Structure formats: C-alpha cells, structure tokens
C-alpha cells in the first residue's frame, strides 16, 4: 500500500510540475509577444544598476508557540513507530520460536477468548484492507506499520491489537533513535498481552541502563467534552511524528452491533487519522491521553472526517489486567442476552423507562440458576440503578468470577431480587459453544445455525407479549446477510416459515435445520410495535 501511495504522490507531483511548466512557458511567450522583444534583442538589454539595493537578512526566529506546539514537543518523544513482519505460512511451519514478539495461542491474554477477530473485519472494511494483514499473494513477507505510546519508563507500550495481529516479528522505533544501518529496523519488541474485545495490546522493549524512556501522561476520558480540542500524533502512511488537530465530535460511539461491540465505546473525533495512526494517542489540551486512535469511517481508505479512539479509562483497565500475572483480561458474566437499543414503544408496552429487558437466559448458568427468565426487566445491581444494557455489561464484566451480586428485577409488575454468582465470561462462552457443537463467535450461542444460514439471531417471545401472538423475536440481523437482503428486521416476530407455523424457538430451529441452499424461503412476520399492520411477508432464494 505504501508503494501505491508513493506512486500516486509522484504522479500528482509530475502532473503539477507539468502544469506549472506549461503556465510558465505561456507567460513567457505572452510577455515576448506583448512587448515585441526578440531573442537577439534581449541579449543587448543593459544591466540594471543595483548599487542602491539593500540585501535581505534572515530574521531571528520568533517563538509563536501555541498549545499545539507545546503538546507536540512534550508528547512526541513518547509516541513510537511500530513495524511488523508476517511470514508466509510455509515459513511459519518451518521456523522455530521467534524471539521477536511471536504470537501464539498460549502467548498473551487469551488470544482465542473472543473467537474470530470481529474488530479486524471491521477495521479491514473501514480501511479497505491495507498493510499488515498477512503475507501477500506472492507469498512474500508482509510488513505493517502503526503507532504506539510508551506508558512506563521501563519500556511498556500500548498499541492496537490489529497493529500487531498475527505478526511474527515486531520492531519499535523512537523519534530519538539513531538512523544507522544496524538500527534501521528499530528495537525488537515482545507481546505482553492483548485483548481482542477492545483491540488493545501491550508490548515491551528493553530499556537502556540508566536511560528511562519518555512516557505519555494518561488523562480521564470521562472529562472529555464534545467540542473540546484534541490532538492526534502518529505515523500515517509511515510519516512518523505527524501531528493533527480537531475536536471531540461525539462520545460513547458503538460502531459494531451486538456482542462484538459491547466493550467498544469510542470517542469520535474529526482530527485527521489515517492508516498508520492506529495505536497513537489522542490528547487533550493539557497534553493528557484521553484516547487511542483506532479506526476511521471511510469509503476511500483514507481520512474522511470521522475517526474513533478507544477512551483512556478503558485502556487503563485493560492495561492493568494485561500486565498482571496471567496477562489476560478476565470479565464477569451471568449468562443472559438482551436486545440493544429497544424502541421506546417496547419499553412503554412493557412498562419501564430504565433497565434491561432479558431476551434469553442461558441454561445452566448463573442467571438461570438464580431464577431469572426471559421477559424479566433488570433494574439494579447491588442497589445501583441500571440505565441500559451497556451499563449492565460494564458493571457485571468488572466483577470477579466467583463473586456474588444482588440483582434487582421486575416480573409481571412485581419487584424481585436475586443473588447471582458471577461466572468467567470466557469459560462460559467456551462451554456454550462446546454444548452447541460449533465454533461460532461469542454471543451466537445456540443461534449458530440460524446465523450461518440466515444471518439472524432469535429468541422466544418475552413475558407480557400480546395475547394470541406466537413465534420468535428477531434479536439481531447481520448486515449483508440473507435475512438483511430480504428485509427481516430486528424486533419483528417470525410466525411461520414456508407456511409451517412457528410457535417457539424449537419450532424455528427445526424448520431452519431443514432449509437447503437454493431453496425458496418465505417468512410470515408480525411487527408487535404496530398492531394495525397485520401480517407481513418476506422471502427469497437461500444462497
């Protein structure tokens, strides 16, 4: 990709120079024609006496420092350039353990705990691929470039997991490192740990005795306000120590639907961020890190005015877990699912303003053991009111597995409490996937077959559904899937498939299991949010 941009830049420069040369020639010819000056006559033009001209002098430099200048000087030395190499698969099979940042299933933070790297797919989509995604088609080594920030003078660095994902060799360069031939690649780095759920990784480089590394200063991302000035520093397109400025455009942006985005609540900014900026800091006007530049929204592969940074408060929590003895992030879970962004009408019908409407309860796990059921509305944890699903996830995921919580919930208009023992989310997901007999991504649970065939997840109707309504509630629809293409939407109730009635989730799974590729499939649906709409129909040929 870097060579592509260089060729593009050269073509643009060549075009510019051609235009300038043409304009200059035109101006010269026009001047000659206008004044009637011939080439022979121009040689006889008398010299101008310049004895009265005063030579120009370069003035003393003036200090026009701004907050941006100060931040760049203070923070720049602690922002590093990260380069990686991914070997072809043939070399990976032949090679022995690499001393430089080798990644494997047993190294660093539970590499498989989140299943497929959904964020990597998201990143590829928004950046249109790019360097660092593995060996190229010719089988040669594939190189990647990104950024990072030193947070500990002993050489601990925070960056994005996608910057070093699948890398076999990792090097780090400081802005103060020499450019000698034996130091061109930089300092070898090792992976301390990584967390795919938040796309955060920690590296370690060896510190020189008696020469601690410069570090960034972390700030509190909760203090960042929409409209605040922010500064991004990184290495876009390999151009290290590039400084851009903008404002905080929005906060708490979730840009991946479902469980994949449960732990990704970004700061949105219009500070220019491009490939290579990933892992670099987003700073407030005090020079404090309030975020780590992670992704951009673009249709061209380059900056389009919208960038996303992981908040510093999330970074601190993940970093502290990754440098711990186990080098991994452990999150709590109670074994429920819920629908995000419930329409206001649903909350009105079910009689609550704040809380979480439970869509399903995993059999054999904490919530089910404590007596919770689909249709319950969770309103508090340990007496603390719960506003929505994001808040519930944040509270429970921070609990240590084995600890207990008091869960407040509403069922059929009555308030209840339950004592729930928190489980290890990673182990719970592994058990769910094992029981389901598949290796689907976390959050799919027993919906794996439906997701694979149709691209949707469903659940039984919650308690309090309209009398006489039967079927299954669509909880999520994967963009670009068969379900998405034929118009099945989150919140609809499927009452029949190919004229076979669907009374519950068991009926649904039985019917879906019999569907074949190339078969015409017709869904009968009802929108419980609009009782006057009657039955609707969606259909298509299954890919």
Backbone Cα Rg of the chain: 30
Which of 168, 199, 321, 460 is an active site residue? Answer: 199
Q: Strands, E, within 25-135: which ranges?
A: 79-86
278 catalytic? Reply is yes
Strand 404-411 with 384-385, pairing? unpaired
The contacts of residue 166 (CB under 8 Å, 6+ apart) are 86, 103, 134
Inter-residue contact 170 to 187 (CB < 8 Å): no
458-493 burial, b if ≥16 CB within 10 A, otherwise e?
A: bbbbbeebeeeebbbbbbbbeeebbbeebebebbbb
Report the SS3 class of residue 472: strand
SS3 sequence of 429-461: HHHHHHHHCCCCCCCCHHHHHHHHHCCEEEEEC
Report the SS3 class of residue 415: strand
Q: How buried is 373 (Cβ within 10 angstroms: 0-12 exposed, 13-18 middle, 19+ buried)?
A: middle
Angle among Cα 75, 78, 81 to the nearest 5 degrees reads 120
Which of 144, 221, 278, 312 is an active site residue? Answer: 278
Query: Alpha-carbon distance 199 to 120, whole Å?
Result: 9
Annotated catalytic residues are 162, 199, 278
């Amino acid at each position: 990709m870097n060579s592509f941009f260089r060729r593009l830049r050269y073509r643009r420069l060549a075009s510019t120079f051609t235009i300038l040369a043409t304009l200059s020639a035109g101006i010269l010819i026009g001047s000659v024609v206008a004044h009637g000056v011939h080439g022979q006559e121009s040689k006889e033009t008398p010299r101008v006496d310049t004895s009265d001209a005063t030579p120009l002098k370069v003035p003393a430099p003036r200090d026009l420092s701004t907050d941006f200048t100060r931040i760049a000087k203070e923070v720049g030395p602690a922002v590093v350039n990260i380069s990686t190499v991914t070997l072809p698969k043939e070399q990976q099979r032949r090679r022995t353990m690499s001393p430089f940042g080798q990644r494997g299933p047993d190294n660093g933070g539970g590499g498989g705990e989140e299943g497929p790297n959904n964020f990597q797919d998201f990143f590829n989509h928004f950046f249109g691929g790019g360097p660092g995604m593995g060996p190229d088609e010719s089988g040669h080594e594939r190189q990647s470039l990104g950024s990072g920030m030193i947070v500990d003078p002993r050489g601990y660095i925070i960056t994005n997991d996608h910057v070093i994902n699948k890398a076999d060799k990792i090097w780090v360069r400081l802005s103060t490192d020499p450019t000698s031939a034996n130091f061109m690649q930089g300092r070898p780095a090792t992976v301390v740990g990584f967390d795919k759920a938040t796309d955060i990784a920690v590296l370690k480089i060896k510190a020189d005795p008696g020469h601690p590394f410069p570090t960034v200063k972390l700030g509190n991302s909760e203090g960042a306000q929409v409209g605040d000035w922010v500064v991004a520093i990184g290495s876009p397109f390999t151009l290290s120590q590039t400084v851009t400025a903008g404002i905080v455009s929005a906060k708490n942006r979730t840009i991946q639907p479902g469980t994949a985005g449960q732990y990704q609540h970004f700061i949105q900014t219009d500070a220019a961020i491009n490939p290579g900026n990933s892992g670099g800091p987003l700073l407030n006007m005090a020079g404090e890190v309030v975020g780590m530049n992670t992704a951009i929204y673009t249709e061209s592969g380059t900056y389009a005015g919208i960038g996303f940074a992981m908040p510093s408060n999330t970074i601190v929590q993940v970093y502290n877990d990754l440098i711990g003895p186990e080098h991994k992030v452990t999150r709590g879970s109670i074994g429920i699912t819920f629908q995000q962004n419930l329409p206001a009408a649903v909350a009105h019908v079910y009689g609550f303003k704040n809380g979480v409407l439970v869509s399903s309860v995993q059999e054999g796990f904490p919530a089910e053991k404590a007596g919770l059921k689909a249709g319950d509305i969770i309103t508090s944890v340990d007496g603390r009111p719960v506003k929505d699903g994001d808040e519930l996830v944040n509270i429970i995921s921070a609990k240590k597995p084995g600890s207990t919580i008091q869960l407040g919930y509403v069922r059929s208009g009555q308030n209840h409490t339950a004592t729930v023992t928190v489980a290890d989310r990673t182990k719970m997901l592994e058990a769910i996937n094992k029981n389901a007999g598949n290796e689907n991504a976390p959050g799919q649970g027993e919906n794996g077959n439906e997701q694979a065939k149709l691209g949707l997840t469903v659940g039984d109707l919650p308690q309090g559904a309209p009398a006489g309504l039967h079927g299954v509630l669509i909880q999520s629809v994967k963009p670009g899937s068969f379900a998405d293409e034929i118009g099945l939407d989150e919140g609809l109730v499927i009452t029949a498939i190919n004229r076979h009635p669907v009374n519950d989730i068991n009926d649904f799974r039985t019917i879906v299991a019999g569907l074949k590729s190339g078969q015409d499939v017709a869904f009968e649906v009802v929108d419980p949010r609009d009782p006057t709409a009657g039955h609707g129909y969606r259909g298509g040929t299954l890919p």
